[in-house]
Amino acid sequence: MRIPLIAALCLLAALPIRAQTPAQPARLGLCAACHGANGHAGVPGVPHLAGQRLDYLRDALKQYRDGRRNMPVMRAAIGPVSDAELDALARWYSAQSPQPQGNP
């Protein structure tokens, strides 16, 4: 009786623990136009957002929204977005797989 129980526990312990991917945010459209839906920018000079730290993305988005980062394109794209919407965008992009090294 102990061996099957121990075997089952070992199998459960061996399963990879996988973080849940957040739901795709409703406000992703404008961001995805430049930064890509999965955070891999297709526009030259636009930064990749995939895999960036959650707190960094959240703070940067708030700074663009509030005008503390002076970039008119970003301020216009974000518009009057709530903290909850900014958080959803930051969570989405931080959960995406980063661009492999050496790829544009």
At residue 17, the pLDDT reads 44
Instruction: Per residue of the chain (104 residues), give pLDDT as tens.
Output: 566 555 555 544 544 444 567 888 888 888 999 999 999 998 999 999 999 999 999 999 999 999 999 999 998 888 888 999 999 999 999 999 997 766 55
pTM: 0.74
The pLDDT value given to residue 15: 47
Question: What's the CATH number for 22-95?
Answer: 1.10.760.10
Q: Is-contact 84 10, C-beta < 8 A?
A: no
Question: d(Cα 71, Cα 33) in Å, to the nearest integer?
Answer: 17
The CB-based long-range contact list for 20-25 (8 Å cut-off, 24+ gap) reads: 21/95, 22/88, 22/91, 22/92, 22/95, 23/88, 23/92, 24/92, 25/85, 25/88, 25/89, 25/91, 25/92
Confidence (pLDDT) at 16 = 46
